[in-house]
Chains A and B, each alone.
Chain A
């Protein structure tokens, strides 16, 4: 699976990356990761042989021990890097996040009490709403596709 590595990038496509392989994947419950991702935890996986193949992240120095990368154009959280160590990439930024499953939870002290129950929440949306499904089908996405592209933005450009 990792013979040719894996690719990914931000939502708008200004930043793209390639990794030769992956280390440990985790979900980190600490409040710093919650804030970086605007979410309940940080889904991160250690990169091996990381190359930024288009653009580069902007970095926020979250403490004197680590920095956190994101796309300055669209905001996608891209990674976390402790000083002197490999970048841990945001799993959702991979083109195929299913291939980068986490194997461990870390920093449970800040874990939100409702996290473990999320998978059992009732489901809503396009699965039971033809109206919403039709609306979704009408949307023209400006998100970068889940594979590398020769040039981006696409011909015709993105709205400013």
Chain B
């Protein structure tokens, strides 16, 4: 019962993974390479031993962003999943791909030389009502036809349903 099993995967569910030890060093990295790999302001990552990281469905597509680093993603939906320095005993995994990202708050920032000038102000941006408030009909349709993999392991994917188009 004490065996660790923490799961995650890409948006479409073609790639799923499991951790068999607790993640360490949750952080965000602002470097320009992480920004580009994630199309964002920073990459949110944690570390885990390569031996304790198992791809349980599908496989990682790899882009060598330099001779040092392999960046893994889902070839079917694009979700950024991993960064692994070749030969390193640990691998970094994206926090947002975890089924329960809320459980892993980052503790540090790296690569701050490339931090966006507006990063500190993001928290002060005005909020807005939700999709469910704004467009309840459309939100209901999205919920009914959502092609995102659920935030838990599934026996088979894609599910058998006629509208599950992956175009």
Contact = CB atoms under 8 A, between A and B. Distances in A.
Contacts of B54: none
Contact of B76 (A60, A116, A117, A144): A60
B66 to A, nearest CB: 5
A38 to B, nearest CB: 3
A4 to B, nearest CB: 22
Interface string A25-56: 01100111011111110110000000000000
A2 interface: no
A112 B122 contact: no
Nearest to B118: A101
A142 B40 contact: no
Nearest to B11: A35
B44 A40 contact: yes
A37 B80 contact: yes
Contact of A142 (B65, B107, B108, B141): B65
A3 interface: no
B28 A118 contact: yes
Contacts of B120: 119
A112 B112 CA distance: 22
Contacts, number: 258
B18 to A, nearest CB: 16
A39 B61 contact: no
Contact of B38 (A59, A65, A92): A92
Given A76-B36, A97-B116, A35 B79 contact: yes
Nearest to A133: B113
A6 interface: no
Contacts of A151: none
Interface in B57-92: 61, 63-68, 71-81
B105 interface: yes
Contact of A115 (B63, B71, B123): B123
A116 B125 CA distance: 10
Contact of B77 (A64, A70, A101): A70
Interface string B148-165: 110100000000000101
A102 B117 CA distance: 12
Given A38-B79, A97-B41, A105 B108 contact: no
Contacts of A63: 141-142, 145-148
Interface of B: 10-12, 27-29, 32-33, 35-44, 61, 63-68, 71-81, 94-97, 101-102, 105-113, 116-120, 122-123, 125-128, 130-132, 138, 141-142, 145-149, 151, 163, 165-167
30 contacts: A10-B36, A11-B36, A11-B65, A26-B128, A27-B122, A35-B96, A38-B96, A38-B97, A39-B38, A40-B101, A60-B77, A66-B142, A67-B167, A68-B78, A70-B39, A72-B75, A73-B63, A75-B75, A77-B79, A77-B80, A78-B39, A78-B78, A92-B36, A97-B116, A104-B126, A118-B28, A118-B42, A118-B109, A124-B108, A159-B67
